[in-house]
Amino acid sequence: MWRLTLRTTLARRARLALTLLAVVLGVTFATGSLILTDTSGRLLDDQFRTATAGVDLTVRDAVAFDSAMGVEVTRDPLPANLPERIAAVPGVAAVRPQVRGQGLLEVDGTAVVPSGPSVLASWVPPPLGAFTVRSGRPPAADDEVVIDEDTARAHRIGLGDTVTVRATDTGRLRVVGLAGFGARGGLPNSTIALVTLPSAQRLLRLGSTVSEVAVVAAPGVAPDELRDRISVALGAGYEVTPSRDIAAAGAAAARDQLSWLQLVLLALAAAALLVGAFLIANTFSIVITQRTRELALLRAAGATGGQVLRSVLGEALLVGLAASTVGLGLGVAAATGIRNLAGAFGVPLPEGGLVLTARTVLVAFAVGVVVTVGSAVGPARRAVAVAPVAALRDAAAARTGRLRVIAGALAAAAGLAATTAVLAAGAPVPLLGVAALGAVGGLALLGPAITPILVRLVGRPLAAAGVTGRLANESAARTPRRTAATALALALGLALISFMAVLGTSVKSSVRQSYAEVITADHVVESARNEMLGGLSPMVYDRVSRLPEVAVASRLRYGHWRDGEATQALTAVDPATLPRVASLHFTAGNLAALDGGGIVLAEHVARDRGLAVGDELPMTFSRAGTRSLPVVGLLRDGDARALSTDYLISLDTFARLYSEEMDASVLIRTAEGTGRAAAERAIKAALAETPTAQLRDQAAAVAGRTQMIDQVLGLVTVLLMLAVLIALLGITNTLALSITERTAEIGLLRAVGMTRRQLRWMIRGEAVLVAALASVLGILLGVGFAAATVRALGRDAPTVLAVPAGRLLLVLAVALAAGLLAGLLPARRAARLDVLAAIGTP
């Protein structure tokens, strides 16, 4: 039986090639995603391990948590005498104070703005320091600097050149050396400026304090033991951490920032595989229908049902194994492709050698084989049901089982119920995911039953176009199971694309609307880099607020805090000036009350937490630990969103709780009688010293807030096109097989006078029809669930449904055009059929 399986599989290789391709693409995507995330993780690990390689322990100011949302918290500096106190602890071999901060590089008057950090640090010679001088020498004098090689090469900085470093203070420094980091020429997406310790302290205005102290244990002293000794010697308030923990924590924080990408990629791989599964099931059931006679003969000749089942599943296993192997190979290429794609959409990933783990290989084969064999189970069971007498009569068209219809109706009803529960009864939003699964499952089960009706409905224009169109319709309606599966595969991809488009557009337009309603400032200054915490130097506010053209300048700061396990963000505002640049609506309490050290909550937060004015909210801060802040006001949800978070405190309170010195936005009201252009000119002039600060109008400010949505939307849409591509292969595949089945009919049509052109249009018409069916289902499903999600989101902040009609029409047009494309090959094949041979094929 195995030999037979192998032979039939090979004999049908052309037929199975497309199926194979579908699995290959799915596996490629899955392994590509895994390889990419493994690689990014490994590169980040390496980077952080290199950074602390020569150090055993690091002493820093103690904090409650060291990073939030992938951003390391700022710690208070350490007193100047601390290194001496550490050095005095027995077992310490070496101590090295270190200063680290942000310092923007400027070359020939142009700022070098990397997408990552602009590092300014004191030079620490190896092995304690992670950087090594590759050419020139380390900084010795206070006006000397060492730049990383990558930056030097990219911006043509040579030894002896002078660069400007803008930190809290600005310095002009001479480049005396170029540094590398481990085996690399620098840190990814960053610039590095290494200066002497006093110079770093001066530029960062740290006085004689330092950021951290690196400690090397004496030979024979266990780092863990030394750690305890130092902790005891320094007392509370300082944190002594083994270097490998710091490396792990740093890498984890950096990986945290990429975790959404991994999630998105794996979700898309799942979608691609789901689409592929439909396609595989389809192909196998067609192949089995066509092999009915052969299978019946086998049965008549004495093959048991089990043998037939194993034969079909064996075929699936072979296809699965072959596809997994190819998919794994292509996955390596895909990883690089996705990395470049992500980079193109503004999501830089670390570059470096790809990591192929055993897990990835295992997943590739498991996924490929399980999906293929799993999809073939249904068709295989139908093959077993073939009666030996079927060899002698024509196979009757299978009718949709009643059980299937009932199951489908139940699934669809469950989906509807879950949606209603979320919308009407306020059930949690993730229930919508369950609803979507129910809807898709229901459609998959009901597909064969409803397809003929849908085909005739969607195919109206086609039918009106003439008999070829009618024939195309009928052909699609005749094999509802096949048409449904083919269309549904495409519909899934299109549904996801439409869902993302509608949701993204709705959230964007809602953010825009809130912002426009609430922020009344004439101008906004924000960092061009859209850093998580704003990243605007306080200097900007100082300069701008002093301008005679500016009547009011009010700044916003963001901070992270811990709420149990969850990380939250808050906005710090100036209660005195904010009302003049923003129109806020309080439902309880008021803004001025913030001065007492309290907190204002967005309405929905108060509702969810059951808090009212006068209650207290416990919050954990990195520097200040856990505090309970009195609730002094409740703000409308939309207004809170315009200020970016659901929690407001005053800048004074912020200064007591945080050591971060970064502004997020400076909102500006121009002085009475100052023209817009004049004000802009004055503000721009004031920003000359801070190149990353950007004067924005409302549109640009909104764009800065929604940039992430655009990135994700763009990346996901491009990647989803892969799922759509797989689905299109499905159309080609199904049509090619259906043509084989309809050879006699095609021969007849040609004999009685259907021209080749008419025949080609008939086949293409069928392809477009399936695409149209998929588009209608997919777009309706996508828009429907987006609408439900928007409604559900509206509970937390007013979100209005915005349907990007142009974009959806584009999706429709692309799908139809692609359908046409998918039909080209089968149409050509059909037109090439020899009329006589076709007539002779009953």
Amino acid identity at 726 = I
Contact 179, 132 (CB under 8 A): yes
The least distance separating other proteins from the CB of residue 281, rounded to whole angstroms, comes to: 24
Closer by beta carbon to other proteins, 184 or else 470:
470
- Nearest CA to 437 among 63, 72, 785? 785
Q: How far is the CB of 836 from other proteins (least distance, A)?
A: 6
Q: How far is the CB of 776 from other proteins (least distance, A)?
A: 22
- Minimum distance between the CB of residue 297 and other proteins, rounded to whole angstroms? 22
Least Å distance, CB 320 to other proteins, is 35
Q: Of 412 and 830, which CB lies nearer to other proteins in the complex structure?
A: 830
- Look-up: residue for tokens 């902790």? 231
End-to-end CA distance of the chain: 29
Nearest-approach distance from CB 282 to other proteins, in angstroms = 20
Q: How far is the CB of 447 from other proteins (least distance, A)?
A: 19
Q: Judged by CB, which is closer to other proteins: 460, or 757?
A: 757
DSSP per position, 457-497:
HHTHHHHHT-HHHHHHHHHHHHSHHHHHHHHHHHHHHHHHH
Please say which residue, 298 or 830, places its beta carbon nearer to other proteins: 830
Min separation Cβ 755 and other proteins, Å = 5
Cβ atoms within 10 Å, residue 88 = 10
At closest approach, how far in Å is the CB of 467 from other proteins? 4
Shortest distance, position 478 Cβ to other proteins, whole Å:
6
Residue number, 413 or 467, with CB nearest to other proteins: 467
In angstroms, the Cα distances linking 283 to 23, 69, 202, 481, 488 are 12, 46, 71, 11, 14
* CA 13 – CA 315 distance, rounded (Å): 11
Strand partners, 558: 571
Residue number, 114 or 469, with CB nearest to other proteins: 469
Q: Which is nearer to other proteins, 617 or 754 (CB)?
A: 754
Nearest distance, CB of residue 455 and other proteins, angstroms: 12
Q: What are phi and psi of 648, to 5 degrees?
A: -120, 135
Query: Least distance (Å) from other proteins to the CB of residue 14?
Result: 24
Q: Which is nearer to other proteins, 317 or 477 (CB)?
A: 477
Cβ-based nearer residue to other proteins, 793 or 839: 839
Task: Write out the H or E segment, with its range, that includes residue 751.
Answer: helix 743-751
The answer to whether residues 285 and 379 touch, using CB atoms and an 8 Å cutoff, is: yes
- Cα–Cα nearest to 160, from 147, 171, 151: 147
Q: Phi-psi region for residue 589, left (φ > 0), alpha (ψ -120 to 50) or beta? A: left
520, 575, 605, 754 from 798: Cα distances, Å: 19, 24, 13, 59
Q: Which lies closer to other proteins via its Cβ, residue 610 or residue 842?
A: 842
CB of 109 or CB of 753, closer to other proteins? 753
The token pair that represents 326 in the structure block: 């190819």
User: What span, in angstroms and rounded, lies between the C-alpha atoms of 684 and 678?
Assistant: 10
Nearer to other proteins by Cβ, of 430 and 840: the residue is 840
Q: Is 74 helix (H, G, I), strand (E, B) or coil?
A: coil
Whichever of 352 and 466 has its CB closer to other proteins, that residue is 466
- Comparison of 153 and 756: residue with beta carbon closer to other proteins: 756
* Nearest distance, CB of residue 830 and other proteins, angstroms: 14
Report DSSP state, residue 660: -
Dist. CA 572–CA 836, nearest whole Å? 82
Region for 426 from its dihedrals, namely left if φ exceeds 0, alpha if ψ lies in -120 to 50, beta otherwise: left
Residue 212's alpha-carbon distances to 201, 235, 241, in angstroms, are: 12, 16, 11
Q: Phi and psi at residue 112, in whole multiples of 5°?
A: -100, 110
- Give the chain's radius of gyration (CA, Å): 33
Q: Which structure tokens are listed for 442? A: 């229901």
Strand 599-602 with 625-635, pairing: parallel
Torsion of CA 189, 194, 198, 200, to 10 degrees: -10
Token look-up 């309706």 returns: 780
Q: CB-wise, 673 or 753, nearer to other proteins?
A: 753
Residues comprising the chain, all counted = 842
Distances, alpha carbon 758 to alpha carbons 156, 233, 464, 761, 834, in Å: 64, 91, 15, 5, 15
What secondary structure does DSSP assign to 327-367, as a single string?
A: HHHHHHHHHHHHHHHHHHTT-----S-----HHHHHHHHHH
Based on CB atoms, which residue is closest to other proteins, 437 or 748?
Answer: 748
Closest approach of other proteins to the CB of residue 753, in Å: 2
Q: Which residues bind other proteins (CB under 8 A)?
A: 466-468, 470-471, 474-475, 477-478, 744-745, 748-758, 835-836, 839, 842
* Residue 112, CA atoms < 13 Å, CB-side half-sphere: 28
DSSP per residue over 555-595, as a string?
A: EEEEEEEEETTEEEEEEEE-TTTGGGTB---EEEE-GGGGG
Cβ 396 to other proteins, closest distance in Å? 10
Nearest approach, Cβ of 469 to other proteins (angstroms)?
Answer: 11
- Sign, Cα dihedral of 96, 99, 105, 106: negative
Which residue, 676 or 832, has its beta carbon nearer to other proteins?
Answer: 832
Q: Residue 708 or 744: which CB sits closer to other proteins?
A: 744
- Residue 452 Cβ, how far from other proteins at the closest point, in Å? 11
Shortest reach from residue 839's CB to other proteins, in Å: 6
Pairing of strands 162-166, 104-107: antiparallel
Q: How far is CA 582 from CA 144, 195, 518, 666, 667, in A?
A: 46, 43, 5, 12, 9
